[in-house]
Amino acid sequence: MKMMMMMMKMKSLKKQLPIIPFIIMFIILIIIASLPPTVMSSSSNYPVAITKPNCIDRCGNVSIPFPFGTTPDCYRNYSFFVTCNQTIHPGPKLFLQHSNIEITDISLDGQLTVLPYIARECYAPNNTGLSQIPSITLPSQITVNNTANKFTIVGCDAYAFVYGWRLDGTEYETGCMASCKSEKDVVDGSCNGVGCCQLADIPKDTLSVDIQLSSFTNYTTRSGFDNCSYAFLAKESAFKFSRQSVANLKNVEELPMVADWAIGNMTCEEAGKNSSDYACKSSNSKCYEPDNCSGYRCSCLDGYQGNPYLVQGCQAIPVFAQKGYHGDGQYCSPGESIILKIVAGTALGIITLLLAASWLYLALKRRSFNKMKQKFFLQNGGTLLLEKLHARGRSLESMKIFTSIELKKATNDFNSNMIVGQGGFGTVYKGILPDNSVVAIKKSKRIDLHQVEQFINEVLVLSQINHRHVVRLLGCCLETEVPLLVYELVSNGTLSSHIHNQARARFLSWDIRLRIAAEAAEVLSYLHSAAATPIIHRDVKSGNILLDHSFTAEVSDFGASRLVPLDHTQLSTMVQGTFGYLDPEYMQTNQLTEKSDVYSFGVVLLELLTGRKAITFDKPEEEKKLSQLFPFCTQARTLIRSSR
């Protein structure tokens, strides 16, 4: 009976929460409707310029606010140069500089929307086809938005990489694979690798985007409905996957992508020291530093609107004109001042009511939030974890369970500036705990609710691993939608970032390389044989071997690992791992054994020996995969020449 009453209260609470915002909105509308014309004077009576004098302020339906412009005297610098093509039909259309990158919107909030082309590969029955591999390079003060866009691949035999350069000159690369046997395998709205895969969080300050699209089996498994593959970086809301996407994308050339723009690469404090070049020209403006890109931006102060990058750009928003007068200087009747007093008194009372309603709303929302945390804790196996810890006689000191508030504070609310790594299984943030210890916090992309018990068992086993060359699992947080895992932080980068960087590679002598290989092999031997429950890593690669400042190796990223039952020697699983490191037999049979880890480790040895990447796209077909090139080179005795 008590349970039934509690459920009825919860239903009542859920009904009340959505109503409160509508009540507040209704009251605000009543206030606005009660205001006389003097109070309701809008900025429409006070036109504000968005461009410099004698400059074009519009191209078709797109506004062109300064610092953007179509001529040198109209833009701030060449990064903000745009071209208005009047000859295109239908047109006119706005383009970034002299490129073919069309702009559909420019916002003074620091964003613009562009239309990059879609990468595609289409093959006919006679093995002839069409290939379109686009790239996009942005000016130095315009970068790809790293949160609003997603990299998407659509096809049944396709894999693609997106790579390019960041503002600081560093290179990035990521990708994924989409495959399916028939159209029946595809699930509408699901980009889980079957017919479609998606990757979020392109690195911050990305200037260039190059897409490489190819087939894993050279389209030998394609069927009638999947003879085309597509890859694109686009605004998340611009594309929703369905079974018809392969056919529909044939008629789509471009999809919108969100880019960020800012001024220079300095902070507000640094920029303010040079008043002649300082971009915030209006005396009624302020400077701020955006979270997702370098440089600074300007905005009008509260109570002002317009373009803060112009001297007279920010104009006051008229609310109450001077006593007895309209904002345009016309005389108004004395009765209106009495109405204003009545409205002001009424507004004060309503504001008090709104504050009380807001306090009640926040209290209910906080209560709902706490219940949601409890729900996620139970859903993610929190009770099961506590029971197993108690049954094994282990305390919470050996396996700490963090709260979501602790980790949110440690990562500055999971700020993008705290990201230290990204992969197919999630994002890794740097976190600083209250005791000033620095940790790595891994936020997975998803969890299978049907395998919660398996996940808890893995967490328990991994937390017991106490090997000097394995990144130690310190604890977890289960009261978020997806569990968070907390590891010790190894801060000198990955083995991949050292051997594939000429400046860093010279510090890796042959003795150091041999020691790193031995330490990684020792870990695999421990996981496969010495651990109480054997563990298969499943994603062994140079990018998952971390180095400390003395170049000691520590194996990381057990997000793809699986425990091996004592009565099983192999596991059947969906395709996971990293291209170039995958066991060919595993790709054919989907049967996973310890040998899969050993094969991947062999590729790492080849990387250490040759300095080449596991997979390279700018080489001939027979030289793309290091695992295929190495035997050929050893037979031809051209190993040293090929490794250069």
Q: Which residue ranges form the domains of the chain, and what is each CATH number?
A: 2-41+328-368 (no CATH), 43-105 (no CATH), 112-261 (no CATH), 380-489 (3.30.200.20), 496-644 (1.10.510.10)
- The answer to whether the CB of 160 falls within 8 A of the CB of 235 is no
518-549: pLDDT as tens digits: 999 999 999 888 877 788 888 899 988 999 99
If one compares 98 and 18, the residue with the highest pLDDT of the two is 98
- The answer to whether the CB of 190 falls within 8 A of the CB of 132 is no
| Sign of the alpha-carbon torsion through 441, 442, 448, 451 | negative
Which value, in Å, is the radius of gyration of the alpha carbons in the chain?
A: 30
pLDDT score, position 43 = 40
Question: 39: part of which helix (H) or strand (E)?
Answer: none
User: Does residue 90 have a cis bond before it (omega within 30 degrees)?
Assistant: yes
Distance (Å, whole) CA 141 – CA 389: 52
CB burial of 570-599 (b: ≥16 within 10 Å; e: otherwise) equals: bbeeeebbbbbbbbeebeeeeebbbebbeb
pLDDT score, position 408 = 93
605 phi-psi bin (left φ>0, alpha ψ -120 to 50, beta other): alpha
Give 184: exposed, middle or buried? Use CB within 10 Å, 0-12, 13-18, 19+: exposed
Of 82-91, 377-386, 472-481, 498-507, the poorest mean pLDDT is in 377-386
Nearest of 141, 237, 149, 246 to residue 196 by alpha carbon: 246
- The answer to whether the CB of 618 falls within 8 A of the CB of 558 is no
Distance (Å, whole) CA 373 – CA 363: 16
Of 16-20, 208-212, 335-339, the poorest mean pLDDT is in 16-20
Sheet holding 102-107, edge to edge: 82-85, 93-96, 102-107, 111-115, 257-261, 142-144
Of 165-174, 194-203, 216-225, 420-429, the poorest mean pLDDT is in 216-225
Q: No. of H helices and E strands in the chain?
A: 14, 33
- Write the CA distances from 449 to 44, 109, 156, 191, 452, integer angstroms: 54, 40, 26, 18, 5
For 483, residues 6+ apart whose C-beta sits below 8 A from its C-beta are: 380, 444, 447, 455, 476, 477
- Give Dmax over CA atoms of the chain in angstroms: 101
430-486: pLDDT as tens digits: 999 999 999 999 887 766 666 677 778 778 877 778 889 999 888 888 888 888 889
Distance (Å, whole) CA 23 – CA 548: 57
Confidence of residue 323 (pLDDT cuts 50, 70, 90): very low
Nearest of 61, 115, 118 to residue 90 by alpha carbon: 61
Q: Is 490 helix (H, G, I), strand (E, B) or coil?
A: coil
247-260: pLDDT as tens digits: 788 888 899 999 99
Of 280-289, 302-311, 416-425, 478-487, the poorest mean pLDDT is in 416-425
User: Does residue 584 have a cis bond before it (omega within 30 degrees)?
Assistant: no
Strands (E), 215-351: 228-235, 257-261, 285-288, 297-300, 304-306, 314-316
Confidence of residue 516 (pLDDT cuts 50, 70, 90): very high
- Check 539, 557, 583, 597 and give the catalytic one: 539
**Alpha helix (H) ranges present in 467-593?**
495-499, 502-505, 510-525, 584-589
CB burial of 441-457 (b: ≥16 within 10 Å; e: otherwise) equals: bbbbeeeeeeebeebbb
- Judge whether 226 counts as a catalytic residue: no
Give 401: exposed, middle or buried? Use CB within 10 Å, 0-12, 13-18, 19+: middle
DSSP string, 445-485: S---GGGHHHHHHHHHHHHH---TTBPPEEEEE-SSSS-EE
Q: Return the ∠ at Cα 230 (arms to 226 and 231), rounded to 5°.
A: 150
For 588, residues 6+ apart whose C-beta sits below 8 A from its C-beta are: none
Distance (Å, whole) CA 277 – CA 404: 44
pTM as predicted:
0.51
Q: Which amino acid is at 525?
A: S
Nearest of 561, 547, 606 to residue 581 by alpha carbon: 606
Distance (Å, whole) CA 379 – CA 120: 41
For 431, residues 6+ apart whose C-beta sits below 8 A from its C-beta are: 407, 410, 411, 418, 438, 439, 440, 441, 486
pLDDT score, position 222 = 58
Looking at mean pLDDT, say which of 32-36, 268-272, 632-636 comes out highest: 268-272
Sheet holding 196-200, edge to edge: 129-132, 119-123, 228-235, 149-154, 196-200
Work out the end-to-end distance of the chain between its first and last CA atoms, rounded to an integer number of angstroms.
Answer: 76
pLDDT score, position 39 = 42
| Tokens standing for residue 355 | 């504050």
CB atoms within 10 A of CB 521: 16
What is the DSSP-derived secondary structure letter of residue 610? H
Q: Which amino acid is at 47?
A: P
Mean confidence (pLDDT) of the chain: 80
Can you tell me which residue has the tokens 């694109």? Answer: 232
Flag whether 443 is marked binding: yes
If one compares 98 and 425, the residue with the highest pLDDT of the two is 98
